[in-house]
A and B are shown apart, each in its own frame.
Chain A
């Protein structure tokens, strides 16, 4: 038995987006003939359409491969990791399931922000790091410079990093050899009490929530009574298996194995990544370290454009929640937008993905309110509230002060854009901390910045200011006292709740004006004049007016063609369905969407 473990390697691949992680994974699978070439599709691991389209990995899928060398068969378990900062926690969980990491660096692009963030995570998790220089087939490839960059910037030995072109299939064998030679076989005692790390889970219509696990110690099989150590819930294990890459049931999983456990678990929320599974009858002493509950970072309201589709939206969110434990939502009622949900996301990408899946997979038209963050509101009576929805902010008189979440941001850019990016960061209330030339063509800038500024159009503006060259990485730091105010928009004298935002006092004035101006453009003229006002804490700071409509008439009758007139009026009536009634004001749903996309670069 112990012999078998010696020939097992659990590893992952880490890389910056676009550096070729998925392609390399595909080549490894191909080379080890895990999937017949008939079934081979590009980027096999990215199972969702969205992932394939964007070339990013959201969901993790482990694959077991067999590689034979010198007559010995090795079992290689590839655990894929998501490549985006929103999913840092998920990355760290899947890293814990590995013993080594293949680090893919683009031979032309060199080391990038995301690469670094994930490498540090891997180092923190005591993983052996195996650098690989990919895309050497590119004309702009500069493998030797990149080799040096890896050593200088990351500080690991890259002298024998294989030169690879995953696209062309060059150097794949070397990568496999390196995995076998350099990554240590799993440790762990299969006779000890069961200890499994859940590093991900997914929802299966027949099996319920399925846990993806790395068995640290002990063994588990169908019939084992398992227990989630964080929640204390107990289940009967129904099936265990491995990924081939499709799920394949096996008799048991033992220490060192990577596979899945199905136990008729109803909801994905009961299978928290990072939690430890043990044997309920013979529990292990300590859970795996590092478990934490994932907290949303970005919030926004999601409403159906057609108010009558509230229940469809509710069903869709509930179904998404089954497979995405990080999605949080609760019902919200808005005077302007009607019934909808306040949703919490891991970050902006996560938010975008959820919105897109709702629209695409569930065919919903959505209005999404401005993304916001969680504020700590210290009341004058000494209590502290956490507020994610501007509407829940207590009156100014009851607020002693507020704190907002800060991030440590790292921006990587060619030196040409430093000035323009510094300007942007300053405008975004960033505090400069450090700048370092990584080489002649790359600079790393460090800023401490409010998260609320990052979630509001920072990324787009960074990209436009650097012609797409700059990249951003950030991690949540802490909370900081900040002079935040609530900016309200009043239509016809009434606060339109869906448009309220929490914003820094210095910016409230200009944003208020911009919002009022934009609203004037997008609200069509109606029978009555509509005053639009922006107010901070009840004080009006900007005013615009949508004048009363003056012409809405079919002047001529075309030789008694009454039908044509009727059709035009019917169409006009139909158009009202896409309007939101707010008091006596009708607001087209499109107006909300364009206002919420307001950018000021």
Chain B
């Protein structure tokens, strides 16, 4: 049976962070109620179409926004709907993103009983002043309380960190990693800040220094590896057995359905996304762009390489040649040799992977290698 992932977007927050470019806003209860009503009817409609009858859902992900900022009953209702409308595997990895200030024991209890088995908490930084500067409304202490709640009820807990925040020090990153690894978080994501146009942070003119960002990244990698975490993707680290299935699905070009505003799907060789305008979504607008991707075509080939090279599993060159008729060793042999010599890529057992040094400059490598 084919595997399928489901993503649910919760576009609400208790406060908007200064660097955030996601579709999310601070809204009242009536908007939330209307949103979930639309969300439920979308899920119901798809489920009753029978299109996913022959697929097993083995990952569900509630992302945002801040899923913990809405009443837990909404989440439970969605879970019920998913489990009655889709073939949800018994070991389905079901994640919810949480913010420290809004994760309560009652919510955690409710999530667990509705079938959620993984929780991902946003720490971002281990320094209170820095947290408040970037618009986070929690302290490190709030995080520790949330971690207590999460870790007492879930066996799979993840946390998010950000690198190269304005004024962030090496000490801050060390503190954060020590805190998370010390508490045996099963999974840690460390994202390098990208200042997106239109965010409050962008208007301050701040741009992370390239070398400093790279230094913090390699510090993060080496510390986490010492603690026993494996960097299985450029920004994601896990203790053995705790790689995020839903995440890997994106990199391996597995199928996923996205529900909610601005949610993306890759299903039946089509990529599409829902409108990113909350108002439009509430007034009935749905899918805005839809592109068919020929399974053995050029676009699929580019996607495959660009996504696989993000992971520690790399790109299987022989399989790639068979599927897409592209022989990278032949066509880009000289470049691969050059990149190998300078320590950017490696080939092990026929798999091309980026080294630690190569991961952080992957765009340039991908552009040269496959585009």
A residues contacting B by CB (< 8 A) are 525-528, 547, 549-563, 565-566, 568-570, 572-573, 576, 584
Binding site for A on B (CB under 8 A): 7, 9, 21-22, 63, 191-192, 194, 210-211, 213-214, 217, 234-235, 247, 250, 256, 258, 262-266, 271, 273, 289, 291, 299, 302-303, 306-307, 338-339, 342, 344, 359-367, 371
CB-based nearest B residue for A550: B214
Question: Could you tell me if B361 and A550 are in contact, using CB atoms closer than 8 angstroms?
Answer: yes
Select which of B250, B265, B363 is within 8 A of A554 by beta carbon: B363
B362 touches A552 (CB 8 A): yes
Task: Check A561 against B273 for contact (C-beta < 8 Å).
Answer: yes
- B194 touching A560 by the CB < 8 A rule? no
B265 / chain A contacts, CB cutoff of 8 Å: 560
CA distance A560 to B371 in the complex (A): 20
Least CB distance from A547 to B in Å reads 8
User: Do residues B366 and A569 form an inter-chain contact, with CB atoms below 8 A?
Assistant: yes
Q: Which of B264, B307, B363 contacts A561 (CB 8 A)?
A: B264
Q: Select which of B210, B235, B273, B366 is within 8 A of A555 by beta carbon.
A: B235
A-B contact number at CB 8 A: 100
For the complex formed, measure the closest distance between the CB of B331 and the CB atoms of chain A, giving whole angstroms.
16
> Is B360 a contact of A552 with CB atoms below 8 Å?
yes
> 4 additional contacts, CB 8 Å, given A556-B191, A561-B273?
A527-B361, A552-B362, A568-B363, A572-B364
Flag if B258 contacts A550 (CB, 8 Å). no
Q: Name the B residues within 8 Å of A556 (CB-CB).
A: 191, 194, 235
Contact A549 B364 (CB under 8 A): yes
Contacts of B365 in A (CB 8 A): 527
Is B362 a contact partner of A553 (Cβ separation < 8 A)?
Answer: yes
Do residues B361 and A551 form an inter-chain contact, with CB atoms below 8 A? yes
Nearest neighbor of A556 in chain B, beta-carbon distance: B191
Q: Which residue of B lies closest to A561 (CB)?
A: B264
A contact residues around B364 at 8 Å (CB): 526-527, 549, 552, 572
What's the least CB distance linking B59 to chain A, in Å?
Answer: 11
User: Which B residues touch A527, using CB under 8 A?
Assistant: 339, 342, 344, 361, 364-365
What is the bound-complex CA distance between A121 and B8, given in angstroms? 84
A residues in contact with B302, CB < 8 Å: 566
CB-defined contacts of A526 to chain B, threshold 8 Å: 364
**A526 to B22 Cα, complex, angstroms:** 30
CA A550 – CA B256 in complex, angstroms?
33
Please give, as numbers and ranges, the residues of chain A lying within 8 Å of B361 by CB-CB distance. 527, 549-553
**Could you show 24 A-B contacts with beta carbons less than 8 Å apart?**
A525-B210, A527-B342, A527-B365, A549-B361, A550-B213, A550-B214, A551-B213, A552-B361, A553-B234, A555-B194, A555-B234, A556-B194, A557-B247, A558-B22, A559-B22, A560-B265, A562-B303, A563-B264, A566-B299, A566-B306, A569-B363, A572-B367, A573-B367, A573-B371
Q: Flag if B342 contacts A528 (CB, 8 Å).
A: yes
Q: Which residue of B lies closest to A584 (CB)?
A: B338
Q: B180: shortest Cβ distance to chain A, in Å?
A: 18
Interfacial chain B residues near A584, Cβ < 8 Å: 338
- Among the interface residues B22, B191, B250, B263, which one has the most CB atoms of the partner chain A within 10 A? B250
